[in-house]
Amino acid sequence: MSSSSVSKSLLSVYVLAMVAMQLPLMHSVLSLNETNAYLNHVCIKSEGTAKGSSYEGAVKRLVNFMTTQLSYGFVNGAGGDGPTNIYAKIQCRPDASESICRSCINTALSDLRRKCPNNKGRIIWYDNCLLDISSIFSLGEIDYRYIFYMYNAKDVSSNKIAFNKNTKELLCELKEKAINKKELPYRRDYLYAAGAENLGTTKLYAMVQCTKDLSAFNCSVCLDGIMEKLPKCCNGKQGGRVLSPSCGFRYELYPFVRT
C-alpha cells in the first residue's frame, strides 16, 4: 500500500469512539497481565452471513487448531466448508504467556459466536489478545476500518500540551524500536515495544504493537496513522489507547506490561 493511498484512506477512517472510564487497576504487573478485559468487537455486516451450524463448526475447528500453535504469539490460518472461505488471525500480547493467550482466544471465540452469530467477518479485542475472522484474504494489509479509542476519565495535573507532546514522543520512540527488530522476526516481541519515561515526579508507561503479518514498513505506516488520533483521542488524559485490527498503542501513568 503506497503512502499516498494510505493518506487518502485515513480521510475516510471509521472511528468508533469508546469513551470509557478505566477503573482503578492494581499496580501489580503480574496481576495486570493475568486480567483479560474485553475492549471492543465489530460484526462486519458487509461480508454477509453463513447460516447453519456447519460454518460455526468450521470456524471453531480452525481457531482451536490455531491455539495449539501460539509459541510465536501470532497465528494466521485458513479453512472453511464448501464455498465459504474462512481466514483467521490470532495475536497475543507478548507479555502474556501462551496459556493466558490461549484462554483469551477461547473466551474471544465464545464471545464472538454470541455477539456476531454467523457473521462471516468479525473481530474482537481483549487486553491479552485479538481474534480476527473474515471471509476475505487480507494477510499483510493494513486495516483502518474499525479504529476505536478508550481513555481514562481523569486529566493529568500537569500541563496538558506538554503531556501530550511527551506521550507522542515516547510512542514514536517505541514505534522505531518495534519496526527495527527485523533480525528477530520469529520472536514474540517482533513488531512490539514497551517502555517508560520519567516526567518529573511521575512516570509515563507505553506500548505499541502491530499484527505480525505486516511488514516493518506497513507497521510503521499503521502506527503513524493511529498516532494521528493524538491528542484528539485522549487529550491530557492519564491513560489512553487507540486500536485497529492491524496495530495499537496504549499509555498509562502506571506499569501495565513487563518492560
Lowest mean pLDDT among 38-52, 79-93, 176-190: 176-190
Is residue 58 within 8 Å of residue 80, measured between CB atoms? Answer: yes
Q: What is the pLDDT of residue 118?
A: 86
Average pLDDT over residues 55-62: 92
State which H helix or E strand residue 45 sits in: strand 38-49
Average pLDDT over residues 215-224: 97
Lowest mean pLDDT among 158-162, 182-186, 199-203: 182-186
Q: What is the pLDDT of residue 54?
A: 85
Give the chain's domains with CATH numbers.
3-35+144-252 (3.30.430.20), 39-134 (3.30.430.20)
Judge whether residue 32 has pLDDT over 80.
no
At 54, list the grid cell: 456447519
Q: What is the spatial distance between Cα 85 and Cα 81, in angstroms, rounded to a whole number?
A: 7
At 123, list the grid cell: 473481530
At 239, list the grid cell: 491513560
Residue whose grid cell is 500537569:
158
Q: Residue 31: CB partners within 8 Å, gap ≥ 6?
A: none
Average per-residue pLDDT for the chain: 86
Q: What is the pLDDT of residue 22?
A: 38
Q: What is the pLDDT of residue 197?
A: 96
Judge whether residue 34 has pLDDT over 80.
no
Is residue 168 within 8 Å of residue 230, measured between CB atoms? Answer: yes
Average pLDDT over residues 2-13: 31
Which of residues 154 and 259 earns the better pLDDT score? 154
